[in-house]
Structure 1
Amino acid sequence: MIDKLEMFLAVAKERHFGRAAESLGLTQPTLSAGIKQLEEQLGVLLIFRGSRFGGLTPEGQSALVWARRIVGDARQLRDEMRATRHGLSGQLRIAVIPTALTWAARISARFGAAHPNVGMTILSRTSVEILQMIDDLTVDAGISYLDNEPLGRVSTVRLYDERYMLVCAADSPLAGKDRIGWADLAGHRLCLLTSDMQNRRIINRNLIEAGVTPQATVESSSTVVLVAHVLEGGWITILPEDIAAFLTEGKPLRTIPLDGDGASHAVGLVAPWREPHTPVLEALLAEARRMANDR
């Protein structure tokens, strides 16, 4: 039944039979037959469908909760047995907010050195997408904000607190300042992350509290694009300290601390709440705790 539940989870996630089949490496008729067999085994209709996906039935919504739990338990059993026989191995999938990608690289490097048989896939996603992907079992963990929006029932390890920096060209009128207030940004041409990013919502709030209208002439989901616009001239951007230092190193740019940014915002590792965690995920959480302590 596990394989049929995996099919059901894929359809619930993709909301499209063709895309779900493709994600599993199956043909659509094979997927449809598997869902029909699962419905026959359970004795209920799980999915409204005619010529296309029509949503989950009420019974399908209840079954989705059980399917995630059962598939999660099955994966944990497999991972534990594999770890018992061969040590830690497999593939970890981690979704990360764009401003924390440098931290993801640090965790990957340290974890990989300790556990060379575990591969890692790192995806850049919004905080909302990360929680959904954890819930859907699409990823094993995430790196995201811990205290700015509801997380639900998850395990977390706090890694660092964000400190915001202005990034400007070395010849910018702002470049000679040691510190800058948010109110000083009024009238300057901003390029910022897109509004679906939690970092952008935090920046907007800080600007509004300083009496500045949070308007950006350029928006992007990529921090690289933001810094590239600053290099091209005329723009300034705002990034957390760590990613700002990484992206500006060796370039004719200045990073300047922003004063009066209110409460700091914690960023950390987020994992599905399970007791116990899989051996690989528990090792990842332990590595994150060591990194936090080292810092």
Structure 2
Amino acid sequence: MLDKLEMFIALAKEGHFGRAAERMNIAQPTLSAGIKQLEAQLGVQLVHRGSRFGGLTPEGQTALSWAKRIVEDARQLQDEMRNSRHGLTGEVRLAVIPTAQTWAGRLCTTFAKRHPGVRFTILSRNSREILQMLDDFEADAGISYLENEPLGRVDTAELYDESYIVVCARNSPFADKPKMSWSDLEGQTLALLTPDMQNRRIINRLFAESGVTPATCIEANSIIALVASVASGHCMTVLPQDVAEFVAGGKDVALVPLEGASRPQKVALILPQRDPRTPVLSALLAEARRLPAA
């Protein structure tokens, strides 16, 4: 039944029989037959059918929650059995806010040195998507902000406090300043992350607290795009210091510390509270709690 549940999950996610079959790397008739066999085993109709996929029935919606849980439990069981024989092995799917990508790299490489049998998939997502992926068993862990949005029942390991820095062109009148305040940004042309990013919502709040109305000319969900825009000399941006220093290295831009934030924004590894937790995820949580001191 497990393979049929995986087909069902893929169909629910893609909303299309052809794309779901491609996702599963099987032929579409095989997927359609698998869904019908699952319906026969469960004794209910899971999918509305017509000339194309018509969505899930109410029973299908209920079955989807169970299917995700069963498939994830089976995956964790396989990992734990391998771990008991060969040490820590398997794959960790880590969903990370864009501004924490450097810390994701540090955590994964440090962990991989201790446990070379574990491999990572790092996925860049906004904070709301991360929480949804954890709920849907599409990610094993996340790196996101601890505050501002409800996290639900999770275990956490604080990694760092986010501080902010202005990135400007080297010919900017601000480039040689030892520091800037938020009020210095009034009337300046800015490139900023898109509003769906929690970092942007935090920065918007800090602008509002300082009485600044940002003049935004570019919005992007890519930090590289923001820094490239700044290098053109047309605008400035505000980024967390750690990722700004990493991305701007070797570029024709200047970094100016920004003062006046009301309080630091804590960023952490977050894992859903599930029992039992696999040895790999328990070890990852312990590694994250050691990382800031290291």
Structure 1: distance between partners of 2:148 and 2:278:
28
Structure 1: distance between partners of 2:173 and 2:122:
38
The 3-state SS of whatever aligns with 1:217 is: strand
**Alignment-derived partner of residue 90 in structure 1:** 90
Structure 1: distance between partners of 2:215 and 2:41:
55
Structure 2: distance between partners of 1:241 and 1:31:
48
The 3-state SS of whatever aligns with 1:212 is: coil
**Alignment-derived partner of residue 233 in structure 2:** 233
Cα deviations by residue, 1:137-183 (Å, 9 ceiling, x for unpaired):
22222211121212223332221121111111232111232222212
5+ residue gaps, structure 1: none
Structure 2: distance between partners of 1:10 and 1:261:
44
C-alpha contact (below 8 Å) 2:188/2:215 kept by paired residues: no
Structure 2: distance between partners of 1:45 and 1:155:
37
Structure 2: distance between partners of 1:214 and 1:2:
52
**Alignment-derived partner of residue 164 in structure 2:** 164
Cα deviations by residue, 1:52-108 (Å, 9 ceiling, x for unpaired):
222222212222222222122111111110111111122222121111110011011
- Aligned pairs, how many? 294
5+ residue gaps, structure 2: none
The 3-state SS of whatever aligns with 2:189 is: coil
Map residues 100-111 of structure 1 onto 2, 5 A cutoff: 100-111=100-111
Matched, 1:78 2:78: yes
**Alignment-derived partner of residue 270 in structure 1:** 270
Structure 2: distance between partners of 1:224 and 1:37:
47
Deviates more, 1:160-169 or 1:264-273: 264-273
Matched, 1:27 2:27: yes
C-alpha contact (below 8 Å) 1:13/1:136 kept by paired residues: no
- From the superposition, tell whether residues 15 and 96 of structure 1 become closer, same or farther in structure 2 (CA, over 3 Å): same
- From the superposition, tell whether residues 162 and 42 of structure 1 become closer, same or farther in structure 2 (CA, over 3 Å): same
Deviates more, 1:11-20 or 1:279-288: 11-20
- From the superposition, tell whether residues 48 and 154 of structure 1 become closer, same or farther in structure 2 (CA, over 3 Å): farther
* Structure 2 letter corresponding to 1:132: Q
Map residues 170-209 of structure 1 onto 2, 5 A cutoff: 170-209=170-209
| TM-aligned CA deviation for residue 243 of structure 1 | 0.3
Deviates more, 1:3-12 or 1:131-140: 131-140
Deviates more, 1:254-263 or 1:164-173: 254-263
C-alpha contact (below 8 Å) 2:187/2:214 kept by paired residues: no
C-alpha contact (below 8 Å) 1:170/1:254 kept by paired residues: yes
Structure 2: distance between partners of 1:152 and 1:84:
31
Structure 1: distance between partners of 2:17 and 2:152:
29
Deviates more, 1:122-131 or 1:239-248: 122-131
* Structure 2 letter corresponding to 1:90: G
The 3-state SS of whatever aligns with 1:78 is: helix
| TM-aligned CA deviation for residue 193 of structure 1 | 1.0
C-alpha contact (below 8 Å) 1:94/1:143 kept by paired residues: yes
| TM-aligned CA deviation for residue 240 of structure 1 | 0.5
C-alpha contact (below 8 Å) 2:187/2:215 kept by paired residues: no
* Structure 2 letter corresponding to 1:264: P
- From the superposition, tell whether residues 4 and 165 of structure 1 become closer, same or farther in structure 2 (CA, over 3 Å): same
TM-score by length of 2: 0.94
* Structure 2 letter corresponding to 1:55: G
**Alignment-derived partner of residue 8 in structure 2:** 8
User: What is the RMSD computed on CA atoms of the aligned residues?
Assistant: 1.7
* Structure 2 letter corresponding to 1:268: A
The 3-state SS of whatever aligns with 1:84 is: helix
* Structure 2 letter corresponding to 1:134: L
Map residues 123-142 of structure 1 onto 2, 5 A cutoff: 123-142=123-142
| TM-aligned CA deviation for residue 263 of structure 1 | 2.5
| TM-aligned CA deviation for residue 199 of structure 1 | 0.8
Structure 1: distance between partners of 2:86 and 2:231:
49
Structure 1: distance between partners of 2:32 and 2:10:
12
Structure 1: distance between partners of 2:285 and 2:273:
12
Give identity over the alignment, percent.
Answer: 62
**Alignment-derived partner of residue 57 in structure 1:** 57
| TM-aligned CA deviation for residue 209 of structure 1 | 2.4
Structure 1: distance between partners of 2:9 and 2:154:
20
* Structure 2 letter corresponding to 1:181: S
The 3-state SS of whatever aligns with 1:216 is: strand
**Alignment-derived partner of residue 251 in structure 1:** 251
